Amino acid sequence: MDFLKNWIGALLLGALMVGCSGGDLGAGTNGGGGGSNGGDGGRGIPTVNLGSTAQVQVLYLSGQGRRAPGSQIAVFKNIKVSNSVTDFAPTAQQGSFSPVRVQLDGYTINQHTFTYTLAPRSTKTFTQFPLEIAQIDEENLGGGTTTLFSGPPVLIRPFFNINLPLFAGRQTTLTVNVNDAMIQYDSINGVAFNRTQFENENYSPGENRINGTLSDMIAFDVSGMPANERPKLLNGQVADIVHFSGDLIGISKGFDVPGTFNLLNPSVIDSGLVKRPVTLPGREAPGTYSVQEPDPRDPFGGGSKITAMAGYYRPYTEVLSNIGDFAMVVIPNSRLGPDNQVVLFNRDGAGKIKAMFQGVVRFSGSTSGTIEVWSIDQLPAGTANNLVSGTLTFAKSDGIVRSGTFTFQNPPAGFKFPTTGGFVVFR
């Protein structure tokens, strides 16, 4: 999808994604108004609450078409990511052989997820994606399917290049576009795979790889802020929630209805929806979001849509604790580079967010960096007017920045946030 290929530009503009809704995400449930990390009027550094297990989501998105007799269905098995023959995930015991069936000529989204346990305080990056076609079925006149090809599996070599970093407690999505222009079967030639077409539709321009995306969103309920300080959706409603993933930004209001969620691209705004968390036996599953974008193969602009991204979100109060009346959180991106998203906010005594800015930090030196922030109402426009800049100081642990201090230089009159304080990195 275009927004995935252009995500780095969005990040440098501060355009990260926000998505959730409703104003009922439980703000303040894990951290009251007084913070316990600083003794400075509640302006200490929050505690990040993330486990050691990373999740990988492989999303197979298929192309334009209608389900009809003759439609071919590819069955993918042994879905994994790897660095070498001895360094891969998941193992067979984790279910990597579970099949995923993809109708090649239809608008479909098929999800395959697995987990990977990281060593303490570490990040893991996988660089290869083996694509294995195990079976080809075809829909028949009766609505059922007939198997045209049942193996042995076709493993495409060389493996495809990917950049898939895993972070503890986070979800990274690898989006794979497949369609009937890439994979076809006939009785004479067998399984035909068009590698050039696959790479053209999946590789990021100039990078010769598929880039993973941090797709789990941190949801910030901003319904307690003045309406003129919050971003507006395409439908004209004022957002109740903003979310940030480090790679993506979105805004939303409401649940379950198309158009109540906007993904900020940033030059194009794509619509989607969010769903509420689901209560399961013994636990609550996170809420989810999905996004659609115009089909680039529709030459007449007839409004055709294809699914572009899906993931889950969690209220910030689930993943942060010891939150005082002010907090600054740096959210890493999947490129593991010096530029990262940052969000800063004030809360009242009841734990409701009353002011929020967002922007970019750059860990450009070994112990110092810079910060630029601006108001969240500018998110849909992708602008950074009246930005406030400053400097950072930090010490690295295991080669990674985990916390530090900031100082804003010459903040404008009416700036609602402290000019000095501490920040935490969301990892």
- In tens digits, the chain (427 residues) has pLDDT values of 443 334 333 333 333 333 333 344 433 333 333 333 333 335 679 999 998 999 999 999 887 554 456 789 999 988 999 999 999 999 765 545 578 999 998 878 899 999 999 987 788 999 999 999 999 999 887 778 999 999 999 999 999 999 999 999 999 999 999 999 999 999 999 999 999 999 999 999 889 999 999 999 999 999 999 999 999 999 999 999 999 999 999 999 999 888 899 988 766 678 888 998 888 787 778 999 998 777 666 666 666 677 778 999 999 999 999 999 999 999 999 988 899 999 999 999 999 999 999 999 999 989 999 999 999 999 999 999 999 999 999 999 888 999 999 999 989 999 999 999 999 999 9
Task: Output the pLDDT for position 19.
Answer: 32
Q: Tokens 């598929």 sit at which residue?
A: 210
Task: Output the pLDDT for position 387.
Answer: 96
Task: Output the pLDDT for position 257.
Answer: 87
- The Cα 306–Cα 295 span in angstroms is 6
Read off φ and ψ for residue 302, nearest 5 degrees: -80, 5
Q: What residues have CB less than 8 Å from 239, skipping those under 6 apart?
A: 18, 222, 230, 231, 232, 233, 251, 252, 253
Q: Tokens 């075809």 sit at which residue?
A: 138
Task: Output the pLDDT for position 43.
Answer: 65
Which residues, listed in sequence order, are joined to residue 310 by a DSSP beta bridge?
A: 290
Instruction: With beta carbons less than 8 A apart as the criterion, state whether 369 and 342 touch.
Output: no
Instruction: With beta carbons less than 8 A apart as the criterion, state whether 105 and 64 touch.
Output: yes
Instruction: With beta carbons less than 8 A apart as the criterion, state whether 126 and 82 touch.
Output: yes
